[in-house]
Amino acid sequence: MDTQLSTDIPLDDITQIRAFNRLVTRRLGLLRPGLLDSPWSLTEARILYELRNHDCTEAVDLRRSLDMDAGQLSRVLTRMENNGLITRSPSPEDGRRQVIELSGEGADAAAMLDDRSNDQIRELIGHLSPADRRRLLSAMTTVSHLFGEPATDDRPSTVVMRPLRPGDLGWVIERNGALYAEEHGWDQTYEALVAKVAADYGQAHDPRTENAWVAEIDGERVGAIFCVREDDTTARLRLLFVEPSARGHGVGGHLVDTCVAFARPAGYKRMVLWTVSVLAPARRIYQRAGFRLVKSEPGRMFGHDLVGQTWELDLV
Protein backbone atom coordinates (compact mmCIF):
# COMPACT_ATOMS: atom_id res chain seq x y z
CA MET A 1 0.00 0.00 0.00
CA ASP A 2 1.16 3.52 -0.80
CA THR A 3 1.33 5.01 2.69
CA GLN A 4 1.92 8.51 1.35
CA LEU A 5 -1.32 8.32 -0.66
CA SER A 6 -3.20 6.96 2.36
CA THR A 7 -2.24 9.91 4.55
CA ASP A 8 -3.68 12.28 1.93
CA ILE A 9 -7.18 10.78 2.13
CA PRO A 10 -9.54 12.93 4.26
CA LEU A 11 -10.76 11.23 7.40
CA ASP A 12 -14.35 12.06 6.43
CA ASP A 13 -13.95 9.97 3.26
CA ILE A 14 -12.66 7.02 5.26
CA THR A 15 -15.47 7.38 7.81
CA GLN A 16 -18.13 7.30 5.07
CA ILE A 17 -16.66 4.14 3.50
CA ARG A 18 -16.48 2.42 6.89
CA ALA A 19 -20.10 3.39 7.57
CA PHE A 20 -21.11 1.89 4.22
CA ASN A 21 -19.26 -1.33 5.09
CA ARG A 22 -21.17 -1.56 8.38
CA LEU A 23 -24.45 -1.00 6.57
CA VAL A 24 -23.80 -3.82 4.10
CA THR A 25 -22.57 -6.13 6.86
CA ARG A 26 -25.73 -5.54 8.89
CA ARG A 27 -28.21 -5.74 6.01
CA LEU A 28 -26.71 -9.03 4.76
CA GLY A 29 -26.51 -10.52 8.26
CA LEU A 30 -22.82 -11.32 7.92
CA LEU A 31 -22.16 -11.17 11.68
CA ARG A 32 -24.70 -13.86 12.58
CA PRO A 33 -23.29 -17.24 13.68
CA GLY A 34 -24.53 -19.04 10.55
CA LEU A 35 -24.82 -17.40 7.16
CA LEU A 36 -28.42 -17.21 5.87
CA ASP A 37 -29.66 -19.24 8.87
CA SER A 38 -27.43 -22.14 7.88
CA PRO A 39 -24.90 -24.12 9.95
CA TRP A 40 -22.03 -22.67 7.92
CA SER A 41 -19.88 -19.59 8.37
CA LEU A 42 -19.34 -16.91 5.75
CA THR A 43 -15.93 -18.42 4.93
CA GLU A 44 -17.37 -21.91 4.49
CA ALA A 45 -20.24 -20.57 2.39
CA ARG A 46 -17.84 -18.71 0.12
CA ILE A 47 -15.76 -21.86 -0.39
CA LEU A 48 -18.93 -23.80 -1.25
CA TYR A 49 -19.83 -21.10 -3.78
CA GLU A 50 -16.39 -21.18 -5.42
CA LEU A 51 -16.41 -24.97 -5.68
CA ARG A 52 -19.96 -25.04 -7.07
CA ASN A 53 -19.01 -22.63 -9.82
CA HIS A 54 -15.69 -24.26 -10.69
CA ASP A 55 -16.53 -27.98 -10.21
CA CYS A 56 -13.16 -28.57 -8.60
CA THR A 57 -10.10 -26.50 -7.90
CA GLU A 58 -6.68 -26.80 -6.40
CA ALA A 59 -6.19 -25.48 -2.88
CA VAL A 60 -3.57 -22.96 -4.05
CA ASP A 61 -6.05 -21.44 -6.54
CA LEU A 62 -8.77 -21.35 -3.91
CA ARG A 63 -6.45 -19.56 -1.50
CA ARG A 64 -5.54 -17.03 -4.18
CA SER A 65 -9.13 -16.27 -5.22
CA LEU A 66 -10.25 -15.87 -1.59
CA ASP A 67 -7.09 -14.06 -0.45
CA MET A 68 -6.81 -16.38 2.57
CA ASP A 69 -3.85 -17.37 4.69
CA ALA A 70 -2.72 -20.90 3.82
CA GLY A 71 -2.98 -22.11 7.42
CA GLN A 72 -6.47 -20.65 7.87
CA LEU A 73 -7.70 -22.21 4.63
CA SER A 74 -6.25 -25.59 5.59
CA ARG A 75 -8.09 -25.53 8.93
CA VAL A 76 -11.40 -24.57 7.30
CA LEU A 77 -11.03 -27.25 4.61
CA THR A 78 -10.27 -29.88 7.25
CA ARG A 79 -13.42 -28.92 9.13
CA MET A 80 -15.49 -29.04 5.93
CA GLU A 81 -14.03 -32.41 4.99
CA ASN A 82 -14.82 -33.80 8.45
CA ASN A 83 -18.40 -32.54 8.01
CA GLY A 84 -18.75 -34.34 4.69
CA LEU A 85 -18.96 -31.22 2.50
CA ILE A 86 -15.81 -31.69 0.41
CA THR A 87 -13.25 -34.23 -0.66
CA ARG A 88 -9.52 -33.68 -1.07
CA SER A 89 -7.14 -35.67 -3.28
CA PRO A 90 -3.66 -35.26 -4.80
CA SER A 91 -3.53 -33.44 -8.14
CA PRO A 92 -2.84 -35.83 -11.04
CA GLU A 93 -0.40 -33.23 -12.46
CA ASP A 94 1.48 -32.66 -9.20
CA GLY A 95 1.00 -34.91 -6.21
CA ARG A 96 2.14 -32.13 -3.86
CA ARG A 97 -0.96 -30.10 -4.71
CA GLN A 98 -4.48 -30.79 -3.44
CA VAL A 99 -7.61 -30.91 -5.58
CA ILE A 100 -10.77 -29.85 -3.74
CA GLU A 101 -14.22 -31.05 -4.84
CA LEU A 102 -17.73 -30.87 -3.45
CA SER A 103 -19.25 -34.05 -2.09
CA GLY A 104 -22.91 -34.81 -2.79
CA GLU A 105 -23.83 -33.26 0.56
CA GLY A 106 -21.65 -30.26 -0.20
CA ALA A 107 -23.31 -29.75 -3.59
CA ASP A 108 -26.72 -29.77 -1.89
CA ALA A 109 -25.50 -27.25 0.70
CA ALA A 110 -24.07 -24.96 -1.98
CA ALA A 111 -27.33 -25.06 -3.97
CA MET A 112 -29.36 -24.28 -0.83
CA LEU A 113 -27.14 -21.32 0.00
CA ASP A 114 -27.44 -19.99 -3.55
CA ASP A 115 -31.23 -20.16 -3.37
CA ARG A 116 -31.33 -18.44 0.02
CA SER A 117 -28.91 -15.75 -1.14
CA ASN A 118 -31.05 -15.03 -4.20
CA ASP A 119 -34.15 -14.82 -2.01
CA GLN A 120 -32.35 -12.44 0.37
CA ILE A 121 -31.38 -10.07 -2.43
CA ARG A 122 -34.91 -10.15 -3.88
CA GLU A 123 -36.23 -9.11 -0.47
CA LEU A 124 -33.61 -6.37 -0.09
CA ILE A 125 -34.33 -4.72 -3.44
CA GLY A 126 -37.95 -5.71 -3.92
CA HIS A 127 -39.18 -2.24 -2.96
CA LEU A 128 -37.03 -0.50 -5.58
CA SER A 129 -38.45 0.70 -8.88
CA PRO A 130 -36.73 -0.45 -12.11
CA ALA A 131 -35.11 2.99 -12.39
CA ASP A 132 -33.78 2.77 -8.82
CA ARG A 133 -32.45 -0.73 -9.47
CA ARG A 134 -30.56 0.64 -12.49
CA ARG A 135 -29.11 3.38 -10.27
CA LEU A 136 -28.07 0.79 -7.69
CA LEU A 137 -26.45 -1.49 -10.27
CA SER A 138 -24.66 1.46 -11.88
CA ALA A 139 -23.29 2.54 -8.49
CA MET A 140 -22.15 -1.01 -7.77
CA THR A 141 -20.41 -1.17 -11.15
CA THR A 142 -18.58 2.03 -10.28
CA VAL A 143 -17.50 0.67 -6.88
CA SER A 144 -16.24 -2.57 -8.46
CA HIS A 145 -14.30 -0.65 -11.08
CA LEU A 146 -12.72 1.77 -8.61
CA PHE A 147 -11.75 -1.08 -6.28
CA GLY A 148 -10.06 -2.82 -9.20
CA GLU A 149 -12.27 -5.88 -9.40
CA PRO A 150 -11.62 -7.84 -12.61
CA ALA A 151 -14.39 -8.38 -15.11
CA THR A 152 -16.48 -11.53 -14.63
CA ASP A 153 -15.56 -12.77 -18.10
CA ASP A 154 -13.21 -12.00 -20.97
CA ARG A 155 -15.75 -10.24 -23.19
CA PRO A 156 -14.91 -6.59 -23.96
CA SER A 157 -17.29 -3.99 -22.60
CA THR A 158 -19.81 -2.80 -25.19
CA VAL A 159 -20.31 0.92 -25.69
CA VAL A 160 -24.01 1.70 -26.20
CA MET A 161 -25.22 5.02 -27.64
CA ARG A 162 -28.72 6.13 -26.70
CA PRO A 163 -30.77 9.36 -26.92
CA LEU A 164 -31.27 11.55 -23.87
CA ARG A 165 -33.70 10.54 -21.14
CA PRO A 166 -35.23 12.67 -18.38
CA GLY A 167 -32.47 13.45 -15.88
CA ASP A 168 -29.64 13.26 -18.41
CA LEU A 169 -29.36 17.03 -18.93
CA GLY A 170 -28.80 17.57 -15.21
CA TRP A 171 -26.23 14.79 -15.18
CA VAL A 172 -24.36 16.35 -18.13
CA ILE A 173 -24.20 19.70 -16.32
CA GLU A 174 -23.09 18.22 -13.00
CA ARG A 175 -20.46 15.89 -14.45
CA ASN A 176 -18.97 18.52 -16.77
CA GLY A 177 -18.72 21.03 -13.92
CA ALA A 178 -17.23 18.57 -11.46
CA LEU A 179 -14.92 16.82 -13.93
CA TYR A 180 -13.30 19.91 -15.42
CA ALA A 181 -12.95 21.53 -12.01
CA GLU A 182 -11.15 18.45 -10.70
CA GLU A 183 -8.93 17.82 -13.74
CA HIS A 184 -8.22 21.39 -14.91
CA GLY A 185 -9.27 23.68 -12.06
CA TRP A 186 -11.95 25.43 -14.11
CA ASP A 187 -14.34 27.64 -12.19
CA GLN A 188 -18.15 27.80 -12.19
CA THR A 189 -18.30 29.90 -15.34
CA TYR A 190 -17.68 26.70 -17.31
CA GLU A 191 -20.49 24.89 -15.51
CA ALA A 192 -22.72 27.90 -16.24
CA LEU A 193 -21.84 27.65 -19.94
CA VAL A 194 -22.72 23.95 -19.97
CA ALA A 195 -25.98 24.69 -18.15
CA LYS A 196 -26.94 27.28 -20.79
CA VAL A 197 -26.20 24.90 -23.68
CA ALA A 198 -28.17 22.10 -22.01
CA ALA A 199 -31.07 24.41 -21.13
CA ASP A 200 -31.29 25.82 -24.66
CA TYR A 201 -31.34 22.29 -26.06
CA GLY A 202 -33.92 21.07 -23.57
CA GLN A 203 -36.27 24.02 -24.02
CA ALA A 204 -36.41 23.99 -27.81
CA HIS A 205 -34.72 21.79 -30.39
CA ASP A 206 -35.80 20.35 -33.71
CA PRO A 207 -35.17 16.59 -33.61
CA ARG A 208 -34.77 16.57 -37.39
CA THR A 209 -31.69 18.79 -37.21
CA GLU A 210 -30.49 18.55 -33.57
CA ASN A 211 -29.81 15.59 -31.31
CA ALA A 212 -27.84 14.47 -28.26
CA TRP A 213 -26.57 11.14 -27.04
CA VAL A 214 -25.38 9.47 -23.85
CA ALA A 215 -22.78 6.68 -24.01
CA GLU A 216 -23.22 3.74 -21.63
CA ILE A 217 -21.01 0.83 -20.66
CA ASP A 218 -22.73 -1.99 -18.74
CA GLY A 219 -25.68 0.33 -18.07
CA GLU A 220 -23.53 3.12 -16.61
CA ARG A 221 -23.48 6.60 -18.15
CA VAL A 222 -19.91 7.32 -19.22
CA GLY A 223 -20.10 10.17 -21.72
CA ALA A 224 -22.25 12.49 -23.82
CA ILE A 225 -22.29 14.72 -26.90
CA PHE A 226 -24.65 17.24 -28.54
CA CYS A 227 -25.25 18.14 -32.19
CA VAL A 228 -26.98 21.54 -32.52
CA ARG A 229 -27.86 23.81 -35.43
CA GLU A 230 -25.49 26.68 -36.14
CA ASP A 231 -27.20 27.74 -39.38
CA ASP A 232 -28.88 26.07 -42.35
CA THR A 233 -25.66 24.47 -43.57
CA THR A 234 -23.60 24.18 -40.37
CA ALA A 235 -23.92 21.86 -37.37
CA ARG A 236 -22.06 22.48 -34.12
CA LEU A 237 -20.64 19.67 -32.00
CA ARG A 238 -20.94 20.55 -28.31
CA LEU A 239 -20.21 19.22 -24.82
CA LEU A 240 -18.25 16.10 -25.69
CA PHE A 241 -17.00 14.51 -22.49
CA VAL A 242 -16.00 11.03 -21.31
CA GLU A 243 -15.78 9.83 -17.74
CA PRO A 244 -12.23 8.96 -16.61
CA SER A 245 -13.31 5.38 -15.84
CA ALA A 246 -14.28 4.85 -19.50
CA ARG A 247 -11.30 6.43 -21.24
CA GLY A 248 -9.33 4.10 -23.45
CA HIS A 249 -12.45 2.17 -24.55
CA GLY A 250 -13.11 4.26 -27.67
CA VAL A 251 -16.08 6.06 -26.10
CA GLY A 252 -15.06 9.51 -27.33
CA GLY A 253 -14.62 8.27 -30.89
CA HIS A 254 -18.00 6.52 -30.80
CA LEU A 255 -19.67 9.72 -29.62
CA VAL A 256 -18.08 11.89 -32.31
CA ASP A 257 -18.83 9.32 -35.03
CA THR A 258 -22.47 9.17 -33.89
CA CYS A 259 -22.72 12.96 -34.00
CA VAL A 260 -21.20 13.20 -37.49
CA ALA A 261 -23.35 10.33 -38.79
CA PHE A 262 -26.46 12.25 -37.69
CA ALA A 263 -25.37 15.57 -39.21
CA ARG A 264 -24.78 14.31 -42.76
CA PRO A 265 -28.31 13.07 -43.57
CA ALA A 266 -29.72 16.07 -41.68
CA GLY A 267 -28.52 18.20 -44.60
CA TYR A 268 -25.53 19.97 -43.07
CA LYS A 269 -22.52 20.72 -45.27
CA ARG A 270 -20.02 21.19 -42.45
CA MET A 271 -19.61 20.71 -38.71
CA VAL A 272 -17.73 23.04 -36.38
CA LEU A 273 -16.67 22.80 -32.76
CA TRP A 274 -14.90 24.93 -30.18
CA THR A 275 -12.44 23.58 -27.63
CA VAL A 276 -9.27 24.67 -25.83
CA SER A 277 -5.73 23.55 -26.56
CA VAL A 278 -5.10 21.91 -23.18
CA LEU A 279 -7.66 19.19 -23.95
CA ALA A 280 -5.20 17.11 -25.97
CA PRO A 281 -7.10 13.75 -25.84
CA ALA A 282 -10.22 15.42 -27.26
CA ARG A 283 -8.15 17.10 -29.95
CA ARG A 284 -6.78 13.72 -31.07
CA ILE A 285 -10.33 12.37 -31.34
CA TYR A 286 -11.33 15.30 -33.54
CA GLN A 287 -8.27 14.87 -35.73
CA ARG A 288 -8.99 11.15 -36.22
CA ALA A 289 -12.55 12.05 -37.24
CA GLY A 290 -11.22 14.39 -39.94
CA PHE A 291 -11.62 17.78 -38.25
CA ARG A 292 -9.02 20.46 -39.05
CA LEU A 293 -7.98 23.40 -36.92
CA VAL A 294 -9.11 26.69 -38.51
CA LYS A 295 -8.64 29.25 -35.73
CA SER A 296 -6.77 29.72 -32.43
CA GLU A 297 -7.29 32.62 -30.05
CA PRO A 298 -5.87 33.09 -26.52
CA GLY A 299 -8.05 34.53 -23.79
CA ARG A 300 -9.13 34.42 -20.17
CA MET A 301 -11.67 31.63 -19.74
CA PHE A 302 -13.01 29.62 -16.82
CA GLY A 303 -10.57 31.28 -14.44
CA HIS A 304 -7.45 30.51 -16.54
CA ASP A 305 -5.45 31.81 -19.48
CA LEU A 306 -6.35 29.38 -22.26
CA VAL A 307 -6.14 29.11 -26.03
CA GLY A 308 -9.51 28.66 -27.65
CA GLN A 309 -9.62 26.63 -30.85
CA THR A 310 -12.20 26.30 -33.63
CA TRP A 311 -12.20 23.06 -35.61
CA GLU A 312 -14.13 22.28 -38.78
CA LEU A 313 -15.17 19.16 -40.71
CA ASP A 314 -16.48 19.10 -44.29
CA LEU A 315 -19.55 16.85 -44.52
CA VAL A 316 -19.96 16.77 -48.29
What is the mean pLDDT, run by run of 10 residues, along the chain of 316 residues? 58 91 92 90 92 76 86 93 92 81 92 94 91 79 68 58 95 96 95 97 94 91 96 97 86 94 95 95 92 96 96 95
Q: Do residues 168 and 118 both lie within one domain?
A: no
- CATH assignment of the domain containing 142: 1.10.10.10
- pLDDT (0 to 100) of residue 152: 46
- pLDDT (0 to 100) of residue 159: 85
CA distance 212 to 164: 6
Of 313, 305, 315, 216, nearest to 266 by C-alpha is 315
Q: Do residues 230 and 263 both lie within one domain?
A: yes
169 occurs within a structural domain: yes
CA distance 284 to 289: 9
- pLDDT (0 to 100) of residue 143: 79
Query: Are 294 and 313 in contact, with CB atoms under 8 Å apart?
Result: no
Q: Where a domain ends, among 146, 177, 198?
A: 146
pTM, 2 dp: 0.57
Strand partners, 307: 298
Q: Do residues 288 and 194 both lie within one domain?
A: yes
Q: Do residues 289 and 267 both lie within one domain?
A: yes
307 occurs within a structural domain: yes
Cβ neighbours, 10 Å, residue 215: 25
Q: Do residues 91 and 202 both lie within one domain?
A: no
User: Which one-letter amino acid corresponds to residue 258?
Assistant: T
Q: Do residues 136 and 163 both lie within one domain?
A: no
- pLDDT (0 to 100) of residue 57: 77
Q: Do residues 240 and 195 both lie within one domain?
A: yes
191 occurs within a structural domain: yes
Q: Do residues 139 and 165 both lie within one domain?
A: no
- CATH assignment of the domain containing 173: 3.40.630.30
Q: Where a domain ends, among 116, 146, 176?
A: 146
- pLDDT (0 to 100) of residue 55: 54
User: Which one-letter amino acid corresponds to residue 136?
Assistant: L
151 occurs within a structural domain: no
Q: Do residues 108 and 221 both lie within one domain?
A: no
Q: Do residues 239 and 106 both lie within one domain?
A: no
Query: Are 53 and 46 in contact, with CB atoms under 8 Å apart?
Result: no
Query: Are 125 and 133 in contact, with CB atoms under 8 Å apart?
Result: yes
Question: Per the structure, how many domains does the chain have?
Answer: 2
Q: Do residues 120 and 177 both lie within one domain?
A: no
250 occurs within a structural domain: yes
29 occurs within a structural domain: yes
Query: Are 138 and 221 in contact, with CB atoms under 8 Å apart?
Result: yes
Task: Identify the three-state secondary structure at position 290.
Answer: coil
Q: Where a domain ends, among 146, 168, 194?
A: 146
154 occurs within a structural domain: no
Q: Where are the beta strands (DSSP E) in 38-107?
A: 56-58, 86-90, 98-102
106 occurs within a structural domain: yes
Long-range contacts made by residues 186-190, C-beta under 8 angstroms, separation at least 24? 186/302, 186/303, 186/304, 187/302, 187/303, 189/301, 189/302, 189/303, 190/301, 190/302
Q: Do residues 83 and 171 both lie within one domain?
A: no
Domain extent for 190: 159-314
Phi, psi of 3 (to 5 degrees): -70, -30
